[in-house]
Amino acid sequence: MTEKNKKGGSMPLDGVAAWSRNLAASLTATGMEECAARLADGLTALVPETRIYIGLYRRAAPPIVIDFDGHDEWNHGYSDGKYLLDPTYDRFLAGKESVCLSPKEIFPPDFRKSDYYISYYRPYGMVDEICYLLHVEPDAAIYVSLMRLAPATAFTAAQFRRLDAVLHAVETAAVHLRAQMPDRGTSD
The alpha carbon of residue 135 and the mean position of all alpha carbons in its chain are separated, in whole angstroms, by 13
Task: Please identify every stretch of the chain with a pLDDT value under 50, giving residue numbers as ranges.
Answer: 1-8, 185-188
At 185 the pLDDT is 44
- Sign of CA pseudo-dihedral 128, 138, 57, 46: negative
- What's the predicted TM-score (pTM) here? 0.87
Distance from the first to the final alpha carbon of the chain: 47
Cβ–Cβ < 8 Å for 6, 15: no
Triad 179, 182, 187: Cα angle to 5°? 75
Q: Say what the pLDDT of residue 12 is.
A: 81
What pLDDT, on the 0 to 100 scale, is given for residue 72? Answer: 63
